[in-house]
C-alpha cells in the first residue's frame, strides 16, 4: 500500500479533469489525476467539435492554445436548412463579433495531455476500483493499479469522471436531486476523410429527420443523422449513411457532398440531465459528471469548460486569498449557466428533430417557430447569442506561485 498526499485529487482525465489540472498547475496548486481508462483510450475518443469563444479564451489562459490557434477553424456563422432552403445565422454580426471555433475534443484532450507530460505532472491511468471517502470531513481516495493499493489524502476532490463515474454515485441520496429527460432517438455519427460539404456547419430540419454537417478540418468531415434508438451501427453501411444524408439535404449540398469510407461510426443516445447541487462538502462535480445536454447546441464540452473556469477560480481563491467565497458559490454559479445551456440544447433539439407521434398541429407550430426565428432579427440574435456561448461570471484569480 502507498499513501499519497495532495491538495486536489481529480477523478477523470477527460477535458474537465485535464483542464482543471492544467489551471491548478499554472497557479502552483498541487494535484493528481486518477483515470480508470488507458491514456491511449482517452486520447482517441471522438466526441465534440465546437468551442465557444469563452472556451478558447480559457484554453489560452491555461497555455494550451498553440495547436488550437494554428489548426482551429474560426466560424462566424451557421446554416439552418429547413423546407429545402438554407438560412444563414450570422453569429458574429449578431453578437458584436463573437465566433465559435471548430476544433475537435480529441485534439483538446491531446493538447492537454501533452502539456501535462511536458510539465511532468502525476496521472494514474488504468486505475481500478476508484473510491472516494470522507468528503464531508477529511476526504481521501483509494484505488488499485498494477496490483498495488493506493490511498490519496487530499483537501478537495474534483469529480470529473463523466456521466457514468463514481463521484456522483457516492453522494448520499438525500443530499442530491437529479433532473432528466431522455429523447426517443439517437445520433448516428460518421467521421470521414472527405472535404466538408460547406464552409459552415449545416443544421438540417427535414421530414426524414434531423441531420448535421460538421467538420474537423478542411479535409475531414463529421456528419450526423437522427436515427431511431433501436438502430444498431451494423444496420448502417457507409452507402446507406451517405444515401440517407443526401436525402435530407438541399439540392446544392447534394451536388457538393463528397462521400468516402467512414473512419469512425457510432450511435449516441440523447439526454438532458442535471444534478443539484454540484458541491457536496469537499467534493465538487464538474462536466458530464454533473450534467448532460443533447449535442444539438454543441454545449457539452463547453459546459465542462465553464464549470472548470468557476472551480479553478474558486480553488485558487481558497489557496491564495484564504477565502471560501468562490467555493461556497460554485454550485449556484455553475447551475445558473448550466440551466441556460440545458434550455438552449433542449430547444434546438425540439425545434430541429422529428418526434414520433407529433400531430400535424405540432408540426405546423414548429414550422411557424422556425420561420419566426429565422425571419426575425430578435429570433436570430437569441439563437446566435446562445450558440456562441453566454459569458462567465468569474473573478479571475491569478496564479500566485
Q: Which does 14 bind (CB under 5 to 8 A by kind): ligand PHB, ligand RFL, none?
A: ligand RFL
Stretch that binds ligand RFL, among 24-32, 295-303, 335-343, 355-363 (CB under 6 A): 295-303
- Residue 85 or 290: the one with the smaller Cβ distance to ligand RFL is 290
Report d(CA 148, CA 216) in Å as an integer: 40
Report d(CA 291, CA 186) in Å as an integer: 18
Report d(CA 218, CA 67) in Å as an integer: 15
Cβ burial 167-197 (10 Å sphere, 16+ → b, else e): bbebbeeeeeeeeeeebebbbbbbbbebbbb
Residue of 15, 16, 10 lying closest to 29 (CA atoms): 10
Cβ burial 295-327 (10 Å sphere, 16+ → b, else e): bbbbbbbbbbbbbbbbbbbbbbbbbbeeeeebb
Task: Give residue for cell 440531465.
Answer: 273
Is 296 one of the binding residues for ligand PHB (CB under 6 A)? yes
Least distance from ligand PHB to the Cβ atom of residue 297, Å: 6
- Residue 123 or 302: the one with the smaller Cβ distance to ligand PHB is 302
Report d(CA 263, CA 171) in Å as an integer: 39
Report d(CA 158, CA 377) in Å as an integer: 42
Stretch that binds ligand RFL, among 11-19, 79-87, 113-121, 235-243 (CB under 6 A): 11-19
Least distance from ligand RFL to the Cβ atom of residue 161, Å: 4
Residues recognised as catalytic: 75, 203, 295, 299, 387
Identify the residue among 8, 15, 89, 384 touching ligand RFL (CB under 6 A). Answer: 15
- Residue 205 or 296: the one with the smaller Cβ distance to ligand PHB is 296
Cα 272 from chain centre: 13
Is 159 one of the binding residues for ligand RFL (CB under 6 A)? no
Report d(CA 332, CA 73) in Å as an integer: 33
Is 160 one of the binding residues for ligand RFL (CB under 6 A)? yes
Kind plus residue range of the DSSP H or E element containing 310: helix 300-321
Cβ burial 242-276 (10 Å sphere, 16+ → b, else e): bebbeebbbeebeeebebeebeebebeebebbbbe
Q: Is 36 exposed, middle or buried (0-12, 13-18, 19+ CB in 10 A)?
A: buried
- Residue 127 or 352: the one with the smaller Cβ distance to ligand PHB is 352
Task: Please state whether 116 falls in left (phi above 0), alpha (psi between -120 and 50) or beta.
Answer: alpha
Identify the residue among 23, 24, 42, 50 touching ligand PHB (CB under 6 A). Answer: 50
Is 48 one of the binding residues for ligand PHB (CB under 6 A)? yes
Q: Which does 35 bind (CB under 5 to 8 A by kind): ligand PHB, ligand RFL, none?
A: ligand RFL
Rounded (10°) CA dihedral 267, 269, 275, 281 = -30
Residues in region 125-144 near ligand RFL by CB under 6 A: 127, 130
Least distance from ligand PHB to the Cβ atom of residue 211, Å: 11
Is 198 one of the binding residues for ligand PHB (CB under 6 A)? no
Is 227 one of the binding residues for ligand RFL (CB under 6 A)? no
Is 295 one of the binding residues for ligand PHB (CB under 6 A)? yes
Least distance from ligand RFL to the Cβ atom of residue 321, Å: 27
Least distance from ligand RFL to the Cβ atom of residue 167, Å: 8
Residues in region 17-76 near ligand RFL by CB under 6 A: 17, 34-37, 42, 47-49
- Residue 36 or 296: the one with the smaller Cβ distance to ligand PHB is 296
* Count of CA atoms in the C-beta half-sphere (13 A) of 196: 19
The binding site for ligand PHB (CB under 6 A) comprises 48-50, 201, 212, 214, 222, 295-296, 298
The binding site for ligand RFL (CB under 6 A) comprises 11-17, 34-37, 42, 47-49, 105, 127, 130, 160-162, 164-166, 268, 287-288, 295, 298-301, 304
Amino acid at each position: 500500500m502507498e499513501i499519497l498526499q495532495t491538495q486536489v485529487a481529480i477523478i477523470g482525465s477527460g477535458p474537465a479533469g485535464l483542464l482543471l489540472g492544467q489551471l491548478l498547475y499554472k497557479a502552483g496548486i498541487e494535484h493528481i489525476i486518477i483515470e480508470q481508462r488507458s491514456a491511449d483510450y482517452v486520447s482517441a475518443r471522438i466526441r465534440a467539435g465546437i468551442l465557444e469563444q469563452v472556451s478558447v479564451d480559457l484554453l489560452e489562459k491555461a497555455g494550451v492554445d498553440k495547436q488550437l490557434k494554428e489548426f482551429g477553424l474560426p466560424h462566424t456563422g451557421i446554416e439552418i436548412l429547413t423546407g429545402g432552403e438554407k438560412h444563414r445565422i450570422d453569429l458574429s454580426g449578431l453578437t458584436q463579433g463573437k465566433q465559435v471555433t471548430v476544433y475537435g475534443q480529441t485534439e483538446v484532450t491531446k493538447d492537454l495531455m501533452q502539456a501535462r507530460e511536458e510539465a511532468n505532472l502525476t496521472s494514474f491511468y488504468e486505475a481500478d476500483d476508484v473510491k472516494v471517502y470522507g468528503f464531508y470531513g477529511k476526504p481521501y481516495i483509494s484505488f488499485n493499479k498494477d496490483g498495488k493499493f493506493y490511498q490519496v489524502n487530499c483537501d478537495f476532490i474534483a469529480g470529473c469522471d463523466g456521466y457514468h463515474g463514481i463521484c456522483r454515485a457516492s453522494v448520499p441520496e438525500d443530499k442530491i436531486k437529479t433532473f432528466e429527460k431522455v429523447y426517443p432517438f439517437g445520433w448516428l455519427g460518421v467521421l470521414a476523410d472527405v472535404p466538408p460539404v460547406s464552409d459552415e456547419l449545416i443544421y438540417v430540419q427535414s421530414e426524414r429527420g434531423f441531420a448535421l454537417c460538421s467538420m474537423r478540418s478542411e479535409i475531414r468531415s463529421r456528419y450526423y443523422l437522427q436515427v431511431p434508438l433501436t438502430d444498431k451501427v451494423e444496420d448502417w453501411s457507409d452507402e446507406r449513411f451517405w444515401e440517407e444524408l443526401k436525402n435530407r439535404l438541399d439540392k446544392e449540398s447534394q451536388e457538393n457532398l463528397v462521400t468516402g469510407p467512414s473512419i469512425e461510426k457510432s450511435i449516441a443516445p440523447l439526454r438532458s440531465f442535471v444534478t443539484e447541487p454540484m458541491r457536496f462538502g469537499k467534493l465538487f462535480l464538474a462536466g458530464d459528471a454533473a450534467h448532460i445536454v443533447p449535442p444539438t447546441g454543441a454545449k457539452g464540452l463547453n459546459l465542462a469548460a465553464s464549470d472548470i473556469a468557476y472551480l479553478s477560480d474558486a480553488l485558487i481563491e481558497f489557496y491564495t486569498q484564504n477565502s471560501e467565497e468562490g467555493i461556497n458559490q460554485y454550485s449556484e454559479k455553475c447551475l445558473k449557466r448550466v440551466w441556460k445551456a440545458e434550455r438552449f440544447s433542449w430547444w434546438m433539439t425540439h425545434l430541429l428533430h422529428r418526434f414520433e407521434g407529433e400531430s400535424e398541429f405540432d408540426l405546423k407550430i414548429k414550422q411557424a417557430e422556425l420561420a419566426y426565428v429565422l425571419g426575425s432579427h430578435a429570433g436570430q440574435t437569441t439563437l446566435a447569442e446562445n450558440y456562441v456561448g453566454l459569458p462567465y461570471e468569474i473573478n479571475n484569480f491569478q496564479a500566485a506561485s
